[in-house]
Structure 1
Amino acid sequence: MSDQCLFCGIVAGEVPHTKVSEDETTYAFMDVNPASDGHLLVIPKRHSVDLLEIPPGNLTAVTLTEQRIARTVIEELGAVEVNLLNCCGADVWQTVFHFHLHVVPRYVDKAKDRLVLPWQPRVPGSTGTIAALGSRLLAALD
């Protein structure tokens, strides 16, 4: 664990928070700056800076915990769906450098749901660029 990490401090019980779930590998707690009612974070107990650094076993554990919590959020809070979000790097909004996944419940009632998309998912991209980047990634991953 990192002495400078807010989330490591949460796991250690040194930072006030509202715990939602804990097991041997993962820890989940409510987000203090929620995008919607019930917005929470799932983290590995072992410090990893981001998606590129987290060991595969911890990533799997966090993802499975997130799935279990997402189902519970829908059942218990009346959310209609959830967004799952990870930011990997300061330029893409990562503000705490301890790997974490956001579980953001979504509601029909917008008084409970303040999340809006920062991009337009139905605006098509360049087919040439998509094909070129896809081919490049295919070759690199093969």
Structure 2
Amino acid sequence: MAGCVFCEIVAGDTPADVVMDEPELMAFLDRRPVFKGHVLLVPRVHVVTLPDLPTGLRDGFLAALQRLATAMVDGLGAQGSFVAMNNVVSQSVPHLHCHVVPRTKGDGLRGFFWPRTKYAADEAASYADRLRRTLAAG
């Protein structure tokens, strides 16, 4: 869809640190992560909200979320993960995306206030590589 940054990432027109690249789905690092390793999972087709997700993509989407949540622990050493999705309200990009955020007890995340951080130069590529390798091994 013209003007959708996630569609541009899926098409390869906008660079991203991709951690999962599958025929129907793609996952990449959030540019403004809550914690380093924060990933966004998107369907390749332009879908705005969860209710719009075609039935044929639903199971694959959930399976990919499970794999990403596991990769947070196995690949990044997190104790767990936070998985969240907005539909319309607070949805910063009108393309369905699910956040998968690595979590560690005492990390400071409280409720739905999501403080953001930044990657140092070339640090994002290292996180993406660790997650890709973990997903490939799993």
Above 0.5 in TM-score? Answer: yes
Higher relative contact order, structure no. (Cα contacts within 8 Å, ≥ 6 residues apart): 2
Runs of 4+ in structure 1 deviating by more than 6 angstroms, as ranges, are none
Alignment of 1:101-120 (within 5 A): 101-108=98-105, 110=107, 115-118=109-112
> Cα RMSD over matched residues?
1.5
SS at match of 1:66: helix
Q: Could you give the per-residue CA deviations for residues 59-111 of structure 1, whole angstroms, max 9, x where no partner exists?
A: 2212111111111111110110111100001x3x111011111101102363x
User: Rg bigger for which structure?
Assistant: 1
TM-score (norm 2): 0.76
Q: CA deviation at 1:118?
A: 3.1
Secondary structure at 1:105's aligned position in 2?
strand
Distance 2:17 2:112 in 1: 28
> Which of 94, 97, 101 is matched with 2:94 structurally?
97
Percent identical residues = 34
Q: Deviations over 1:21-75 (max 9, x none)?
A: 1111100000011111210011100110111211122222121111111111111
Letter of the structure 2 residue corresponding to residue 116 of structure 1:
R
Matches within 5 A, 1:103-142: 103-108=100-105, 110=107, 115-118=109-112
In the alignment, structure 2 segments of 5+ residues that lack a partner are 114-138
8 Å contact kept, 1:44–1:59: no
Alignment coverage as a number of residue pairs? 113
Letter in 1 for 2:30: D
**Residues 36 and 115 of structure 1 are in contact (CA less than 8 Å); yes or no, is this contact kept in structure 2?**
no
The answer on whether the counterparts of 1:82 and 1:106 sit within 8 Å (CA) in structure 2 is yes
Q: Distance in 2 between matches of 1:96 and 1:59?
A: 20
- SS of aligned partner of 2:52: coil
Match of 1:37 in 2: 36
Give the deviation of 1:9 after TM superposition: 0.2
Q: Match of 2:105, as an amino acid?
A: V
